[in-house]
Amino acid sequence: MEEKDLIISAKRGDQLAFAMLFKNNYPFLVKYLIKITMNPDTAEELAQETMAKCVEKIGMFNGKAKFSSWLISIATNLFIDQQRKSQREKNWKYQEETSRRMKWQLESRNEEWNDALSALGKLKEDIRIPIILKHYYGYSYEEIGEMMKISAGTVKSRVHNGIMAVREELKLHDEPKSAAARTRTSR
Amino acid sequence: MTNRKVLPLEHEHQDENDLAAIKEIEDGLDLLEKNVPVYTPDLQFFEQLITDQKQIMKKKLLRDLAIFIVVALLVVSSVLFMLYQLPVAFFILQGIVTVFIIAYSTVSFVKQVNGT
């Protein structure tokens, strides 16, 4: 059964079709949530909440976008709301701690870690999410704007600022520019 | 279009650094994608989740409906009580509500016009 048929059946109230849709999209959803939360436990909890919300809202799904895109759009908004409610966004240490725990988890299994992930972990979620959606999943600024309920221009500026912050963390500075400035001042 | 020819070289260098940062981000996220194991539960788990959620929705709908009916009965009975026992108060209330609706609609309309 194709995804479109499953969606039609799910809309009609077929629980098995709904369950199959969820099962097919579950790994994609959880992996996306791991990337934005940097915490596998939170990712699994959020995935279940996302699916519960999805059952509520399936009637509103118009089928224009892919089902997986709709799922991550719901998941993104749930995560942002959750962060706002718990006011964790104000707690910078919490985010750093989460990414450090993730690093430790990977390294304890002899897996690699990448400094860009630490840099991403230090960013606020409303900046980290657009970067992940744009540069990992390849969504357009307009699509991300629709998902996050903000304008495409805001998405663009958040992605730009986020990349600049990551560059700072990774120490990818404009060396020739600063070198030129140095020679100018030495003269 | 003509301005394109005089793009400063600094921008090109900046783009290179941006691309390098983006590449690092992509590699890092790829590590998470490949190295964090995800266990997918069986079909029954998802079916149970859907059944539970539908039960919650049903309960919520019944609760909301009950609240709506109780509030509606209260409003209707108090209005009828006023009409038969305190007709003056009833007509004053009708007048106040009408004025409020007209004022609210006018203010909203003016705000909308000024906003566009």
Mean pLDDT of chain B: 86
| Same domain assignment for residues A12 and A49 | yes
- Does one domain contain both A111 and A67? no
- Residue B5, pLDDT score: 47
Asked whether residue A95 falls in the same domain as residue A187, the answer is yes
Query: Both A95 and A185 in a single domain?
Result: yes
Q: What does the domain layout of chain B look like in residue ranges?
A: 8-38, 47-85, 87-116
Pick from B20, B53, B54: which is nearest to A172 by CB? Answer: B20
Residues 11-30 of A with CB under 8 A from B: 15-16, 18-20, 22-23, 26-27, 30
Confidence of residue A47 (pLDDT cuts 50, 70, 90): very high
**Percentage of chain B surpassing pLDDT 70?**
86
Domain hosting A142: range is 91-187
Q: B12 CB near a chain A CB, below 8 Å?
A: no
Write down which residue in A51, A86, A121 finishes a domain.
A86
Average of per-residue pLDDT across B96-116: 88
Q: What percent of chain A stands above pLDDT 70? A: 82
Percent of chain A whose predicted confidence (pLDDT) is above 90: 48
Give me the pLDDT at residue A87, please.
Answer: 66
Q: What is the mean pLDDT of residues A134-141?
A: 93
Please indicate, yes or no, whether residues A37 and A70 belong to a single structural domain of this protein: yes
Reduce the secondary structure of chain A to three states and give it as a string: CCHHHHHHHHHCCCHHHHHHHHHHHHHHHHHHHHHHHCCHHHHHHHHHHHHHHHHHHHHHCCCCCCHHHHHHHHHHHHHHHHHHHHCHHHCHHHHHHHHHHHHHHHHHCCCCCCHHHHHHHHCCHHHHHHHHHHHCCCCCHHHHHHHHCCCHHHHHHHHHHHHHHHHHHHCCCCHHHHHHHHHHHHC
Res. A59: pLDDT tops 50: yes
Domain boundary among A64, A86, A108: A86
Q: What is the CATH number of the domain that holds A170?
A: 1.10.10.10
B41-71 tens-digit pLDDT:
999 999 999 999 999 999 999 999 999 999 9
